[in-house]
Amino acid sequence: MLKMIALQRHMRGLIFVLLISLIGCTQTPGQDSPQDEILDLPALKAVELNGNALKVVATTSIIGDVVAQVGGDAIELTTLMGPGQDPHSYTPGARELTAVANADVIFVNGWNLEEGLVADLDEISADIPLVPISAKIEPLIAGVDAHDHEQKDATANDHQHSNVDPHVWFSIPNVTQWTQNVAVVLSELDPQNSEVYANNAAAYLEALDALAASVEPQLAAIPAEKRFLVTNHDTFSYFANAYDFELIGTVIPAASTLAEPSASDLTELIAEMDTHAICTIFTENTINDALAQTITAELDSCDEVRVVQLYTGALGTANSGADNYIDMFRTNVAAIVAGLR
């Protein structure tokens, strides 16, 4: 039995080697995708390392965790943002800018998630590969119910790049794509360690499969009349699309936390929540929940309103139950299930 398990893992590693050699050659996006917004991996060539480890920079703590899972000990990784740091408002310090300037490759999310960092990256990293880890993922438009494909397509054609929801990691298959992208990029830059990257990626893909299998029945058990989400800002398009939830509204009606809601925005949200008898607002570990707390006092349809914090744009601190992507996803699912009871 042990020999059979070992053989299966070995075969999965071999299959993944073939996969990363092919990925990027061809891809046919789903018909419902706004195809002009799909990101590509850049052309890369091997780095002359001279015995040194590949120097890798990741912007967010979530991206950094996935890169670490694939790169392991073969890379020297710097993650710019720490636990709880909002990727929309983050600006780098001198240490982080030095790491960027010395990097062999920089992994960013894509679609302007790191909006406070973009100008610095453009200025410093002209000769350093800037890799959108979300390449090859079919994006959704922020604030649009992703179940309605006709509406999604029409909206995608009418909106500019800034309206793409960049929070793709709320769908596990998207993080599977992240993992594959990281393995491809690291292998192209550091071909001597390509087998290490392939094996690490294959192991992480197994862990992601196990995560998906564990959370799906928990979310499926939520009854239809409870499958409505109100969140702090537009972060949950991919989650709602993957697990059949309806997004009713957001405290900040934008994909960026730097936006500010108007009085009419908040009035409309309160009316929607009262209409659907929604008594839970899901907030975030990266920004203050004061506005959400204000809304709770205005709802007429609820005897009790719950404000439930989720981990959204960043991982949690050590021992928070959310200090890596897989634990973060599990913790969020548990909080959502409890919050919608």
Tell me the per-residue pLDDT of 255-272, one tens digit each, with 9 for 90 and over: 666 667 878 888 898 899
pLDDT digits (tens, 9 = 90+) for 6-52: 444 444 444 344 334 333 333 333 334 466 789 999 999 999 999 99
CATH topology of domain 220-339: Rossmann fold (3.40.50)
The Cα 4–Cα 228 span in angstroms is: 44
Q: Which CATH superfamily is domain 27-142+166-213 in?
A: Nitrogenase molybdenum iron protein domain (3.40.50.1980)
pLDDT-derived band at 150 (thresholds 50, 70, 90) equals very low
CA atoms 7, 8, 11, 13: torsion sign = negative
- What are the residues facing 230 on neighbouring strands? 249
- What are the residues facing 131 on neighbouring strands? 107
Q: Is 249 exposed, middle or buried (0-12, 13-18, 19+ CB in 10 A)?
A: buried
Q: Report, as an integer, the average pLDDT of 278-283.
A: 92
Under a CB-based contact definition with an 8 Å cutoff, are residues 280 and 335 in contact?
no
Q: Tell me, what's the pLDDT at 129?
A: 95
The Cα 91–Cα 211 span in angstroms is: 32
Alpha-helix residue ranges (DSSP H) falling in the chain: 2-22, 61-71, 94-101, 118-124, 149-158, 172-189, 194-220, 237-243, 263-276, 290-296, 325-339
Phi, psi at residue 128, to the nearest 5°?
-110, 130
Under a CB-based contact definition with an 8 Å cutoff, are residues 277 and 301 in contact?
yes
Q: What is the pTM of this model?
A: 0.84
**CATH topology identical between 27-142+166-213 and 220-339:** yes
Helix axes 325-339, 61-71, angle to 10 degrees: 130
The full set of domain ranges for the chain reads 27-142+166-213, 220-339
Matching residue, tokens 């794509």: 177
Closest to 130 measured CA to CA, from 256, 38, 43: 43
